[in-house]
Amino acid sequence: MIGMKQKSLVAFAAVMVIIAIMQVPCYPANCYSVSYYLLESFNSPKQYKLNVAVPFLLYDYYKEMDHRQVSIEDFAKFVTPYPLTTIADKLWEIYKTPEDFANGVLMIVHQIPYSVTLPAKYPIETIVENAGDCDLLSYVAASIMKAGGLDIVLLYYPNEAHMNVGVHLPTPPRYARTSVYYVIYDGRRYYMAECTGDNWMDGWRVGECPRDLLGAECQIIPLEGLEERIPQLQVSASYKSLLPSTISLTVSPNFGVQLSSFTISGQLLPKMQNKSITIYFKVGNSPWNVLATTQTDSEGRFSYDWVPRETGIYLLRASWSGDDDYSCADSPTVAITVISTFLLLIFVATAVLVCFGVAIFLTSSQSSYMAEEPILPRDMR
pLDDT digits (tens, 9 = 90+) for 249-277: 999 999 999 889 999 999 999 999 999 99
Burial readout 269-306 (b: 16 or more C-beta within 10 A, e: otherwise): beebeebebbbbbbeeeeebebbbebebbeebebebeb
Q: Among candidates 337, 336, 318, 319, which has minimal Cα distance to 328? A: 319
Measure the CA–CA gap between 132 and 113, rounded to whole angstroms: 7
- Position 280 scores a pLDDT of 96
**Side chain identity at residue 289, one-letter code:** N
Q: Is 232 left (phi over 0), alpha (psi -120 to 50) or beta?
A: left
In 3D space, the residue among 34, 27, 175, 22 whose CA is nearest the CA of residue 95 turns out to be 175
β-bridge pairing 334-339 and 255-257:
parallel
The values of phi and psi at residue 254, to 5°, are -100, 5
Q: What does the pLDDT profile of the chain (381 residues) look like in tens digits? A: 444 444 443 333 333 333 333 333 333 356 899 999 999 999 888 999 999 999 999 999 999 999 998 888 899 999 999 999 999 999 999 999 999 999 999 999 999 999 999 899 999 999 999 999 999 999 999 999 999 999 999 999 999 999 999 999 999 999 999 999 999 999 999 999 999 998 999 999 999 999 999 999 999 999 976 665 678 899 999 999 999 999 999 999 999 998 899 999 999 999 999 999 999 999 988 899 999 999 999 999 999 999 998 899 999 999 999 999 999 999 999 999 999 865 555 655 565 666 666 667 676 666 555 555 555 555 554
| pLDDT, position 360 | 75
Q: What is the pLDDT of residue 20?
A: 33
CA-to-CA distance for 225 and 174, rounded, in angstroms?
Answer: 32
Give the contacts of 249 (CB within 8 A, at least 6 positions apart). Answer: 264, 265, 266, 316, 317, 318, 331, 332, 334
Residue 267 near residue 302 (C-beta atoms within 8 A): yes
pLDDT of residue 361: 64
From-to residues of CATH 3.10.620 in the chain: 32-222
φ, ψ of residue 346 to 5 degrees: the values are: -60, -45
> Is residue 277 within 8 Å of residue 319, measured between CB atoms?
yes
The values of phi and psi at residue 287, to 5°, are -75, 170
In words, the CATH class of domain 243-339 is: mainly beta
Whole-number pLDDT of residue 231: 84
Sign of the torsion formed by the C-alpha atoms of 289, 295, 300 and 303: negative
Instruction: Determine the CATH number of domain 32-222.
Output: 3.10.620
Residue spans in the chain of domains classed CATH 2.60.40.730: 243-339
